[in-house]
Amino acid sequence: MKDYKLEVWVTTICFIIVAITGGFFSSFVVILNEVFYNQVPTPEALVAFYGENMFVVKENLFVMGFPLHYFLLIMFSWIGVTIVGAIWCLVMDRLEERQKA
Amino acid sequence: MEPRGEVFVLGLVLSIIVLVISVMISVWARRFTRNLGDYYVAGRSIGAVNNGLAMVSLALSLTTFIGLTALIIEGVYIAVAVYASFTAAFIGLMILAAPYLRRHKSFTTMAFISERYGSKSLRYMSVVVMMVVSVLYLAGNLKGIGIVFYFLLGVPEVVGIVVGGLVVTLYVTLGGMYGVTYNQTFQTIVLLFCLMFPVAIVLRTLGTSGWFFPPLGYGDMVPDMISFVPHYFWAMLEHPITYIAIFLGSFFGIIGLPHFVMRFFTVRDAREARWSTVICVFLVGLVNTTVYATGFAAVYFMQTSAGVDLTPAAYDYMVFILVEALAGEGWLALAVAGSVAAGLSTVSGLLMIMGAGLIHDLYGEMKPEVDDEKKLKLSYLAMFLVGVFVILFSLNPPEFILKAIMWSFGIAAAGLGVPIVLGIWWKRTNKYGVGAGMVVGSLIGFLGWIMIDYMGMNPVDIPFPFFAKYLYGPMGWIKVTVLAVTFSFILTIVVSWLTPPPPKELQRQVDEMHGWPDYDERRYNSKGLPISILVVCVFLLWFMTTLYDVFPK
């Protein structure tokens, strides 16, 4: 049961990380989006949707040419999930070897 | 965009070269096909790199060239969200299903569902669901090939559909899964080359510092995008349930789409299945970020270039418009050839699964006494007939590419994705639960498509009890996926619990799929997983009905 628990827990943790950061979180709030935009979704803000000063982007939050939140989006939804996937593969490779032994 | 008045010779020549090479690869690969296993799953001999590349070409259908860029230009942030989630979904597919499906030794998704739950009825039902999602997915792609021929090469659309359709039917019929796999690998290489290089040249012409690597060039363009479209990155213009719908559709849809899953039945073992997905997700992410860059470059181009006045209808062709305007006709010819390759690869995978579904899962189940040799001959015939049917259907499809594909993801998630995931991770799932969840889940998705997309009804007016009024907002119809997937999960779990557990020999399959040499009753049998899923599903249904006054209708 020790190996079984390892498989289930590693899989659960990896799936949650990928689902939240890569699949859901990055596509939903783009990682603390409101912090960088100084805005929350209120009806008043939506009325101002077509206004001029609704989006106040903080300066100096760029990483490698990307705004920080976008850098994080790419990191999580692409590079991040690739790395998480590779780590999961390595753990499962080792588990498979133990199962065969 | 106006169609070209004259034939674009260079583009046509490169496209024909792609078509000819595709057929040649299949003729070459035919020598490997000796039995039914070779024909449908390439003798389970494909390595991780080969399979990973083949999966990339399946993932990057013609929407990569036509559709996505338009969605980025028009769709505000949600377009990026769809593809960010789609990229990550491959790892979800790997973690939840890929290696376990490989160990099950089935040929198709439908066979897996039937054998795991011990039910012939489920096999027939899943064949029906497979046909619906495949036709939705496929017709748009073949139609897209016709449009590429018409608008970009100056060749009539019908000729494009018929020629493209016949070529792909020919090479799938001839080469079987070996031909499809090697072709998809070739097409991925063509696609990567023909997209990355022209876009890099476009970015260089626009003066981006990271032009040599489009994802970096895309980062460079973000500040410009914010200045041109200030609200672009504000994700909260949509009810959060929209993003949850995208997540559910992507993660469970990709598990449910049989032509993706079928790739895992072709690899040598579970390890190759895992690593091929990692290769695939890296390359898919690379291409998707390149397409984001193209979308941003298009907005920049339209905002800064004098005299450029494009109609929304032309946004679909922005990749080609940009390449022609900023890189030249030589690069345009490459991009056109790449788009043809992208369309062919997806069509071939779908034809393969449709043929396998009809012969292996339907005919083979009804006539078990028929030997493999006869089934192989019938497979050739079925594959050819399916190809001809799809060509005829594509001449006048109900919907074009991206929207149809998004609907097919939702239907596949509810109808096939949920039974696969629960079948792998919860022994107590039985055929009654799966039957209920599959029927209700896929019907919700299918009826949603019929009413909203096919009949053109307003999403908030469709007769979905109680929930319809919450389908408001830009692309609000995506929320139907939440209903379909959550109802599928809830019904599958609740009905399975209320009916007798599956026999031990079926439960034993779960341990075998996970690689255990022995059987242990306690494995994959806890109540924690189903209860957690039920709680999440009920929460999502409740959440969908909240914040009604906050977001734009």
- Tell me the per-residue pLDDT of B122-150, one tens digit each, with 9 for 90 and over: 999 999 999 888 888 877 777 777 777 77
Is the residue at A52 inside a domain? no
Q: What's phi and psi for B547, nearest 5 deg?
A: 55, 30
Nearest to B161 by CA among B404, B354, B337, B392: B392
Tokens of B484: 């379909």
Question: Which residue bears the tokens 């209700």?
Answer: B440
For A99, name the nearest residue in chain B, comparing CA atoms only. Answer: B516
Chain A contact for B548, CB < 8 A? no
Residue B244: name the closest of B411, B486, B15 by CA. B486
Whether residue A57 is contained in a domain is answered as: no
In chain B, the number of structural domains is 1
ipTM: 0.88
Q: Which domain holds residue A72?
A: 2-34+62-100
* 3-class state of residue B267 by DSSP: strand
pLDDT tens-digit readout, B30-79: 888 888 888 888 888 999 999 999 999 888 877 777 777 777 776 666 77
Q: Please name which of B261, B244, B250 lies closest in space to residue B99, comparing C-alpha atoms.
A: B261
B226: which DSSP letter? H
The CATH number given to whatever domain includes residue B455 is: 1.20.1730.10
Residues B22 and B171 sit within 8 Å (Cβ to Cβ): yes
Name the closest residue on chain A to residue B241, using Cα atoms. A28
d(CA B177, CA B518): 33
Has residue B348 been placed in a domain? yes
CA distance B244 to chain A (A): 6
- Give SS3 for B268: coil
Tokens of B405: 């594909």
Residues 249-308 of B with CB under 8 A from A: 250-251, 270-271, 274-275, 277-278, 281-282, 285-286, 288-289
Q: Which of A30, A41, A46 sits opposite B233 (nearest CB)?
A: A30
- Angle among Cα B513, B518, B520 to the nearest 5 degrees reads 90
Q: What percent of chain B is modeled with pLDDT above 90?
A: 32
CB pair distance less than 8 Å for A27 and B85: yes
The structural domain count of chain A equals 1
Q: What is the pLDDT of residues B170-189, one digit of tens each?
A: 888 888 889 889 988 998 99
Taking the CB of residue B494, how many other CB atoms lie within 10 A of it? Answer: 15
User: Does a structural domain hold residue A11?
Assistant: yes
CA B310 to chain centroid, in Å, comes to 29
Whole-number mean pLDDT of chain B? 85
Residues near B409 by beta carbon (within 8 Å), at least 6 away in sequence? B249, B250, B253, B254, B257, B481
pLDDT confidence band for A70 (50 / 70 / 90): low
User: Which residue in B233, B240, B281 is closest to A28 by CB distance?
Assistant: B240
pLDDT tier at B439, thresholds 50, 70, 90: very high
Contact A70/B at CB under 8 A: yes
In a domain, A88, yes or no: yes
Residue A23 lies in a domain: yes
Report B:321-380 residues touching A (Cβ under 8 A): none
Q: How far is B514 from chain A (nearest CA, A)?
A: 9
Residue A86 lies in a domain: yes
Residue-range definition of the domain harbouring residue B527: 9-544
Residue A40, domain member (yes or no): no
Q: How many CB atoms lie within 10 A of CB B487?
A: 21
The Cα B495–Cα B497 span in angstroms is 5
By the 10 Å C-beta count (0-12 exposed, 13-18 middle, 19+ buried), B272 is classed as buried
Do residues B244 and B250 lie in contact, with contact meaning Cβ atoms separated by under 8 Å? no
Q: Is residue A12 part of a domain?
A: yes
